[in-house]
Structure 1
Amino acid sequence: MRERKIRNMEEFAAKSGVSRPTVSKYFNDPSSVRASTRERIEAALERYDFRPNLYAVNQNRRLTKNIGIVVPNLADPFFSELARNIERRCIDAGFSPTTFSSHGSREHEIEIMDTLRSIRPAGVLLAPLGRSSDRATLEAFCKDVPTVLFDSNIEGIGAAFIGSDPFQSIPLMVDYLCRTGAPPCFFEMPPVNPNANKRRDAYLRAMQRLGHTPHVVRVEGHGWDFEDIGYREGLRVIAEGGLPSQTVLCSNDRLAIGLLAAAYESGIRVGITEECTMRIAGHDDHPFARFTGPSLTTVAQDYKAISERSVETVLKLVEGGSIDDSARDILFDGHLVMRASA
């Protein structure tokens, strides 16, 4: 039976009768210490309940194997899916990823950067809040730590940005909706990050190019509770007769999911069959989009390509210290996913 739990490396070194530097050396590379010393340490590990703090062990390395991943909201399945893909690729490359959620908070995003500095990551993959971020703090962090931004870009910050091109994906959906029915109005997300304004601007340009009058439905609310905002504002706008078109393109799928619920509660049939009076489409191909009622027509972001290129880029920084100019801003096209809602 193991004896009581050891609290730290110093206490374990004292109990095992081996110096603290030698114990640290063992945990970095067991083969780097003499066989007799290794036996003493391993005997102590069997006797005492102790496992080293790998972050603390990494502090003594010139280059750690830690990779930080930061997203605005890990409860959002969109970011969970991106983080899952990025984590898997980091692990396959031999690195140890740690994922943080800033929960939409400027202060928490700053705290995360402080925490990341303390574990001396080899590199960081960061989806910033954007509008709410402290630009000066982000700039200072990205100068000290190899950092690649993904999903949301802030010009001039980070070694590179990997994401989707809203000026390709939004027109793709606008073209489809105009081709198959009434031109869409745009149900706008709160401007929590640069993607919000870019998607709105892409909609305006696409409608003008096609010769249609654009209509932006501005919603009340802030923060990342998009389903609630889509539902609450959808009920309000429908009740007020404020939808200028019965075809609605939502800025993201989470808003669309809320609007679908509002339409259902308001007695409106959504879909492409004859008895339906409204069409709703979204953007992102949220992991739940195919399970809504009706299933949501959307534009899919390329999760796989974004995660692979993000990890590839940060590892290039880690290994070589720089990347080519051609790899600094990579935007992937979206593709149309036609389902039952539009």
Structure 2
Amino acid sequence: MEEKKIRNMDELATVIGISRPTLSKYFNDPTKVRSATRERIEAALDQYDYRPNMFAMNQNRRSTRNIGIVVPTIADPFFSEVVRHVEMRCTAAGYWPIVIPSHGATEQELAALDTLRTLKLAGAVIAPLGETSDVERLRQFADETPTVLFDSYLDVGQTFVGNDNFNSIGLMVDYLCRTGQPPCFLDMPAVNLNASERRDAYTASMERLGHEPYVVPISRSNWNFEELGYEEGVRLISNREFPSGTVLCANDRMAIGLLAAAYSKGLRVGRGSGCAMRIAGHDDHPLARFTCPPLTTVAQDYTAIAERSVESLFALIDGNSGAAVPAIQKLEARLIIRDSA
């Protein structure tokens, strides 16, 4: 005789001989039901090859276990690494992480927020575009949903977690000035607040040390940082427009492009004799130690940014934990000295 096909949880509860609430309790947390009941449920799951639609179950609750994660791009190693840690922490805590990239576009960021609204989120972790974000729409979203922002600060949501750019840029400027010619600063496109913060931090650090700051601007604005670093680097080197042989780039991806530009123009980069340039970056990109020469940089603490973001969000979701969540959490970076500077 053909095995009965189980279509839903009500039918499964009936064939097992337990109540529907008990079965739901098992799927929420198997340890919450008695061991004998758990064994009966698991035997029936194997016998009837039944698996519930956990997403549908989640959506039917008054308060779901969905966590929304929005980032400008998952192609950037910083965002992919932070998202990886956030996903793992959420999953381990019994939440359902849902990642939506905004692809560097305002309309895509708004579409992501609209999509997440339909999913009755427990909370959200968002790295906003920043300069091009619709701040009012983000604020409306955060008023409805516990929200933690990371990476790019906006006055939105309950808390922000990110790198202390004045600390990290200060570490690098101090090192470069101490070990050679004071650096000029190759800017990054104004895609978020990090751009202006790092530029201001460079200027303040140079002035503190008694040196004249010189910012080399980038006129174009997109997320193709390596391409911009290469093309601008070739132009600036060809026209002899770098005011210093030491260049601090606003991020490692710009620095990687500049390293390629220096190579294409026959310039040796590094600290030794015969080197025409020193090049340094910011972030500790996963490829930074494999460039030629390996890139001197300052390392953002990817893991700590993810951990703090998730811990803060869980505290906001719990509400009654009694732990105060700091409104702004700035984390210090670490100087990584390699051969490029």
Instruction: Return the alpha-carbon distance in structure 1 between the equivalents of residues 13 and 127 of structure 2.
Output: 44
With over 3 angstroms needed to count, the CA separation of the structure-2 counterparts of 1:17 and 1:338, relative to structure 1, is: closer
Q: Partner of 2:202: helix, strand, or coil?
A: helix
Equivalent pairs, count: 327
The answer as to whether partners of 2:13 and 2:23 remain within 8 angstroms in 1 is no
Partner of 1:98: 98
How far apart are 1:92 and its partner, in Å?
A: 2.5
Partner of 2:81: 81
The answer as to whether partners of 1:72 and 1:127 remain within 8 angstroms in 2 is yes
How far apart are 1:70 and its partner, in Å?
A: 1.3
For residues 167-214 of structure 1, give each alpha carbon's deviation from its aligned partner in whole angstroms, at most 9, with x where no partner exists: 111011000000000000000000000110000000011111111111
Partner of 1:149: 149
How far apart are 1:93 and its partner, in Å?
A: 2.3
Runs of at least 5 residues in structure 1 that lack an aligned partner in the other structure: none
For residues 82-132 of structure 1, give each alpha carbon's deviation from its aligned partner in whole angstroms, at most 9, with x where no partner exists: 111222222232222222211101111111111111221211110000011
How far apart are 1:226 and its partner, in Å?
A: 0.4
Partner of 2:61: 61
Partner of 1:214: 213
Q: Does 1:137 align with 2:137?
A: yes
Partner of 2:176: 177
Instruction: Return the alpha-carbon distance in structure 1 between the equivalents of residues 293 and 23 of structure 2.
Output: 58
- Identity across matched positions, percent: 52
With over 3 angstroms needed to count, the CA separation of the structure-2 counterparts of 1:286 and 1:171, relative to structure 1, is: same
Q: Partner of 2:285: helix, strand, or coil?
A: coil
For residues 33-91 of structure 1, give each alpha carbon's deviation from its aligned partner in whole angstroms, at most 9, with x where no partner exists: x99xx79x959953xxx855433221111222221111111001111111112222222
Letter in 1 for 2:54: L
Letter in 2 for 1:114: D
Partner of 2:333: 334
Partner of 1:260: 259
The answer as to whether partners of 1:28 and 1:57 remain within 8 angstroms in 2 is no
Partner of 2:224: 225
The answer as to whether partners of 2:312 and 2:325 remain within 8 angstroms in 1 is no
Letter in 2 for 1:161: F
The answer as to whether partners of 1:187 and 1:251 remain within 8 angstroms in 2 is yes
Instruction: Return the alpha-carbon distance in structure 1 between the equivalents of residues 129 and 203 of structure 2.
Output: 24
Runs of at least 5 residues in structure 2 that lack an aligned partner in the other structure: none
The answer as to whether partners of 1:317 and 1:323 remain within 8 angstroms in 2 is no
* Alignment TM-score, normalising by the size of structure 1: 0.87
The answer as to whether partners of 1:127 and 1:150 remain within 8 angstroms in 2 is yes
With over 3 angstroms needed to count, the CA separation of the structure-2 counterparts of 1:322 and 1:114, relative to structure 1, is: farther
The answer as to whether partners of 1:186 and 1:250 remain within 8 angstroms in 2 is yes
How far apart are 1:280 and its partner, in Å?
A: 0.3
How far apart are 1:307 and its partner, in Å?
A: 1.1
Instruction: Return the alpha-carbon distance in structure 2 between the equivalents of residues 196 and 320 of structure 1.
Output: 34
* Alignment TM-score, normalising by the size of structure 2: 0.87
The answer as to whether partners of 1:177 and 1:183 remain within 8 angstroms in 2 is yes
Partner of 2:161: 162
Letter in 2 for 1:258: G
Q: Partner of 1:327: helix, strand, or coil?
A: coil
The answer as to whether partners of 1:246 and 1:277 remain within 8 angstroms in 2 is yes
Instruction: Return the alpha-carbon distance in structure 1 between the equivalents of residues 112 and 183 of structure 2.
Output: 40
With over 3 angstroms needed to count, the CA separation of the structure-2 counterparts of 1:24 and 1:243, relative to structure 1, is: farther
The 10-residue stretch of structure 1 (190-199 or 83-92) with the greater mean CA deviation from structure 2: 83-92
With over 3 angstroms needed to count, the CA separation of the structure-2 counterparts of 1:154 and 1:267, relative to structure 1, is: same
Instruction: Return the alpha-carbon distance in structure 1 between the equivalents of residues 320 and 132 of structure 2.
Output: 29
The 10-residue stretch of structure 1 (85-94 or 261-270) with the greater mean CA deviation from structure 2: 85-94
How far apart are 1:14 and its partner, in Å?
A: 12
For residues 286-325 of structure 1, give each alpha carbon's deviation from its aligned partner in whole angstroms, at most 9, with x where no partner exists: 1111111111000111112111111100000110168866
For residues 205-245 of structure 1, give each alpha carbon's deviation from its aligned partner in whole angstroms, at most 9, with x where no partner exists: 11111111111111232111100110111111111111000
